[in-house]
Amino acid sequence: MAHHKSAIKRIRQSRKRKIYNRGNKKTMREAIKAVRTATTVSAAQEALKAAFSILDRVAARGVIKKNNAANKKSRLAKAVKKLEATA
């Protein structure tokens, strides 16, 4: 257990931040999964649009890095293109 006042505050802050980050990451993963599991092209495109928005928001908030969000967006777009090609 921390003894200094600043260390105690830091623990309290990091606990709050952890809960915040966990919630945002969960939302992000759900959005990505929605794109990956979409069976029709139109559903995949709608899910992709929502996922892009969520990824941009999460990156702006600092939960993930901007380049990480860009990589995820690129892979999702590629998956949707592949679905379009097979349909």
Is 1 exposed, middle or buried, given 0-12, 13-18 or 19+ CB atoms closer than 10 A? exposed
Instruction: Give residue-wise pLDDT tens across range 28-74.
Output: 999 999 999 999 999 999 999 999 999 999 999 999 999 999 999 99
pTM, entire model = 0.87
Domains in the chain: ranges and CATH = 5-86 (1.20.58.110)
Distance between CA atoms of residues 34 and 13, nearest Å:
32
Instruction: Give residue-wise pLDDT tens across range 49-61.
Output: 999 999 999 999 9
